[in-house]
């Protein structure tokens, strides 16, 4: 699964499968707020997002995220917010600003460009109100080959301060997402948690924090728990996907059971753990495998 458009054995994961395929459930709640996204359980729940939210709640999930929420009709945004409230689920991120094509964010600080940023944040505020969201994702832009990285960083901080002013007034938080260069997004400006920490310190706003996607960070820098520990004051949101493959936990090299235990026991984390990955197997069987993997990794 692309942004644009957990170590347990197979027998353990299989034994943790929540249900027969397609069955209804009122499964126990997971310890952490894992957040599925639209389409992840469509074979079991159907194509309607509201039905998918209900299915996820029945499986024990208490989080949800929807990268494309801001592009949905306001009436649908309202329905999503109401469905999450009905099922006692917390809304995670939606994408409010992401530039994968230009270097504008790190080269421009003119009024015309900053007015566009302000308008994007105003739209984000309206969407957040409808879906009851606190966080929204920002991906600044590509790097410039004609400007020193120090100046790029300064321009990025300047533009983020403009956006943070609007977010602060609304009480929402933009989370900056560093993305890996080596597999998915070569050339993007923001690529690591340490870099993002420095930028957030520069912006110095409670409305500018970090989305730490552990799939991307495993590829680009690794050292996942120590980097979370060092940057924890600036990290507001977690996303996961195993590597290689960007599928559910237990399908790759990352020990998500240990990471989830650390988040829950050491950090007392009550935010969303966004399930930012695809399913390793097709159809209902694949969807049950995803649920089983999270059950296995949530056992600590």
Q: What is the pLDDT of residues 85-107, one digit of tens each?
A: 999 999 999 999 999 999 999 99
Q: Which domain holds residue 123?
A: 10-14+27-297
What is the distance between the alpha carbons of residues 241 and 1, in angstroms, rounded to a whole number?
A: 10
Euclidean distance between CA atoms 63 and 53, whole angstroms: 9
d(CA 92, CA 125) in angstroms, rounded, equals 14
Whether 118 is covered by a domain: the verdict is yes
Residue 32: CB atoms within 10 A of its CB come to: 22
What is the pLDDT, as a whole number, of residue 189?
98
The reported pLDDT for the residue numbered 221 is 96
**Residue 9: Cβ-neighbour burial (10 angstroms; 0-12, 13-18, 19+):** exposed
Tell me how far apart the alpha carbons of residues 1 and 195 are, in angstroms, rounded to a whole number: 25
Rounded Cα distance between 63 and 32, Å, is: 9
74/64 Cα distance (integer angstroms) = 18
Domain count, the chain: 1
End-to-end CA separation in angstroms for the chain: 28
* Domain-located, residue 22: no
3-state secondary structure of 251: coil
φ/ψ of 239, rounded to 5, equals -125, 155
pLDDT of 49: 98
The answer as to whether 147 is a domain residue is yes
Helix (H) or strand (E) holding 45: helix 42-45
Asked if the structure places residue 227 within a domain, the reply is: yes
Dist CA 190 CA 199 (whole Å):
10
Residues 214-251: pLDDT tens digits? 999 999 999 999 999 999 999 999 999 999 999 999 99
pLDDT of residue 96: 98
Contact between residue 255 and residue 226 where contact means Cβ atoms under 8 Å apart: no
- CATH number where 46 lies: 3.20.20.150
2 within domain boundaries: no
In a domain, 1, yes or no: no
Q: How would you class 118 by CB atoms within 10 Å of its CB: exposed for 0-12, middle for 13-18, buried for 19 or more?
A: middle
Does residue 21 belong to any structural domain of this protein? no
Q: HSE, CB side, 13 Å, CA atoms: give it for residue 117.
A: 28
Q: What is the pLDDT of residue 61?
A: 98
CB-based contacts of 292, cutoff 8 Å, min separation 6: 13, 14, 15, 16, 17, 18
Q: How far apart are CA 175 and CA 158, in angstroms?
A: 16
A 10 A CB-CB count for 22 gives 12
According to the model, what pLDDT value does residue 116 have? 98
SS3 211: strand
CA-to-CA separations, 213 to 88, 177, 245, in angstroms, rounded: 24, 7, 14
**Residue at 184 is within a domain:** yes
Distance CA 138, CA 200 (A): 12
The pLDDT of residue 3 = 44
Per-residue confidence (pLDDT) for residue 26, from 0 to 100:
80
Residues of the chain with pLDDT under 50: 1-24
Distance CA 246, CA 262 (A): 21
The pLDDT assigned to 25 comes to: 63
């Amino acid at each position: 699964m692309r942004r644009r458009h957990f170590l347990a054995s197979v027998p353990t994961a299989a034994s943790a499968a929540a249900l027969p395929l397609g069955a209804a459930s009122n499964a126990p709640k997971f310890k952490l707020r894992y957040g599925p996204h639209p389409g992840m359980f469509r074979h079991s729940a159907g194509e309607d997002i509201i039905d998918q939210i209900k299915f996820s709640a029945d499986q024990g999930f208490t989080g949800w995220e929807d990268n494309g929420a801001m592009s949905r009709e306001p009436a649908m945004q309202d329905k999503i917010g109401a469905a999450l409230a009905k099922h006692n689920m917390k809304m995670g991120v939606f994408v409010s600003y992401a530039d994968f094509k230009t270097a504008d964010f790190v080269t421009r600080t003119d009024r015309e460009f900053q007015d566009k940023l302000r308008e994007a944040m105003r739209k984000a505020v309206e969407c957040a109100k409808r879906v009851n969201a606190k966080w929204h994702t920002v991906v600044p832009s590509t790097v410039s080959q004609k400007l020193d990285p120090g100046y790029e960083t300064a321009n990025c901080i300047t533009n983020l301060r403009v956006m943070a002013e609007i977010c602060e007034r609304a009480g929402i938080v933009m989370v900056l997402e560093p993305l890996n260069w080596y597999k998915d997004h070569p050339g993007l400006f923001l690529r690591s948690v340490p870099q993002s920490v420095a930028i957030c310190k520069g912006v110095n706003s409670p409305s500018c924090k970090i989305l730490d996607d552990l799939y991307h960070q495993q590829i680009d820098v690794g050292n996942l728990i120590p980097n979370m520990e060092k940057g924890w004051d600036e990290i507001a949101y977690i996303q996961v996907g195993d590597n290689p493959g960007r599928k559910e936990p237990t399908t790759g090299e990352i020990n998500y059971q240990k990471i989830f235990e650390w988040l829950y026991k050491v950090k007392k984390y009550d935010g969303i753990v966004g399930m930012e990955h695809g399913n390793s197997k097709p159809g209902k069987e694949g969807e049950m495998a995803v649920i089983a993997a999270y059950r296995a990794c949530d056992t600590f």
